[in-house]
Structure 1
């Protein structure tokens, strides 16, 4: 009974928080604009690859939202996944699936990365994909965040995203593991 009450309370809280978030009207779903941003990563970027990466990022994000059966805000959908009402659709699922799909393309002039923003007192951990020029890092690329607006792709330079502190996934993972080890030792 406690689990049911906790689940219902969690959903009510998530609904309340979700009502406070709006979706910006710019930067979403525009393949040509994203392709132009990717091309601007450097003169070595193949324009065809930039367009293909943008097309996949935008359309596959929408496809994943359909596959995950997203009908609510991301926070509400997270609650559904965490209570077993949906199987997938957390940010790490979007990051995993989009990263895997884009890497299947075998881009010659682009690299695909997994970025993570560590948890803070006000935000949970968040995962996303990043596209950069070949050999670049997440800091040289463009963040591709399909989770934030439930399949409607958000993108920006990682440092321009004021909501999150994007860093390489393995760096954040190591930091979190070391923190757990330190707490366990105390």
Structure 2
């Protein structure tokens, strides 16, 4: 083992130990996904606007709740989100940063070609002790703003979906992704 590899491993172990002490308990190995959760999210989609198609609301809710469980296995999630981020950044895990979840969820939802639901990418500027930005997907009724939508955030609980109205998210202040990137001098199509 080279000195650089040794230092990298030592740094990773120390950082992981520090973050583990502050992180939430590990996520359950097999989270329960119930019909009740899917039905509640379906209803929330329907309540966004009278023009939301019930079949689309059903499909979106089912995908939003179940697809993160597939990603969870693909990303090899075993720890809390912050600890997993450390492993991804150290090259020990393939994916699983918040923007990976947001990107993969957006791709999956976009493949459904919803006619009555819109997709928005959002970023929350850092306002926590670790100074971490957070990325997510927000879904709204067609033609409505992301502020009128629902946060679809599987990163927050390691693959178990957090969802709720954008303006009621007490943990994050969401901004359009393109606005945050433009402030950094980055343009997106």
- Identify whether the pair has TM-score above 0.5, normalized to the shorter chain: yes
Following TM superposition, by how much is the alpha carbon of 1:121 offset from its aligned partner in structure 2, in angstroms?
A: 5.2
Question: Corresponding residue for 1:75?
Answer: 82
Question: Is the contact made by 2:153 and 2:162 (CA closer than 8 Å) also made in structure 1?
Answer: yes
Number of the residue aligned with 1:5: 10
- Is the 2:27–2:80 contact (alpha carbons within 8 Å) kept by the matching residues of 1? no
CA distance in 2, matches of 1:97, 1:128: 10
Residues 26 and 79 in structure 2, CA contact (< 8 A), matched pair in contact too: no
Structure 1 residues 175, 20: closer, same or farther in 2, change over 3 A? Answer: farther
Residues 58 and 75 of structure 1: is their aligned pair in 2 closer, same or farther, counting only changes over 3 Å? same
Aligned partners of 1:99 and 1:57: how far apart in 2?
A: 10
Q: Return the match for 1:51 from 55, 58, 62.
A: 58
Cα offsets for 1:47-102 (capped at 9, x unmatched): 11001000011110111001111011111111110111101011000000000100
Q: Which runs of 5+ in 1 are unaligned?
A: 179-186
Alignment of 1:12-161 (within 5 A): 12-19=17-24, 30-120=37-127, 122=129, 123-161=131-169
Unaligned runs of 5+ in 2: 1-5
Task: Specify the SS of the correspondent of 1:75.
Answer: helix
**Which residue in 2 is equivalent to 1:184?**
none
Q: Superposition pairs for residues 165-184 of structure 1, below 5 Å?
A: 165-177=173-185
SS at match of 1:171: helix
Q: CA RMSD in A?
A: 2.0
CA–CA distance in structure 2, aligned partners of residues 136 and 175 of structure 1: 24
State the distance in 2 between where 1:95 and 1:121 align.
20
Q: TM-score, normalised by structure 1?
A: 0.87
Quote how far apart the aligned CAs of 1:159 are: 1.5
Distance 2:122 2:104 in 1: 13
Work out the CA distance in 1 between the residues paired with 2:12 and 2:53. 48
1:124-153 C-alpha deviation (Å, 9 max, x unpaired) = 010111110112221010000000001100
Matched length:
174
Poorly superposed stretches of 4+, deviation over 4 Å: 20-23
Q: Is the 8 A contact 2:27 2:79 kept in 1?
A: no
Output the TM-score relative to the length of structure 2. 0.86
